Amino acid sequence: MDYFFWCGFYFVNEKELTVGPYQGSLACQILSYPHGVCWASVNQKKTMVIPDVHAFPGHIACDSRSQSEIVIPLFDENYSVWAVMDVDSSKKDSFGENDVLWLEKIVQLIVK
In the chain (112 residues long), the average pLDDT of successive 10-residue segments reads: 91 97 94 96 98 94 93 96 97 97 94 71
For residue 83, what pLDDT is reported? 98
For residue 47, what pLDDT is reported? 98
Q: Quote the pTM value.
A: 0.95
CATH 3.30.450.40 is the classification of domain 6-111? yes
Where do the structural domains in the chain lie, given as residue ranges? 6-111
Where b means 16+ CB within 10 Å and e means fewer, 39-48 reads: bbbbeeeebb
> Which one, of 56, 9, 52, 59, lies nearest residue 29 by Cα?
9
For residue 107, what pLDDT is reported? 95
The number of CA neighbours under 13 Å toward the Cβ of 3 is 13
Q: How many CB atoms lie within 10 A of CB 79?
A: 8
Q: Are 15 and 38 in contact (CB under 8 A)?
A: no
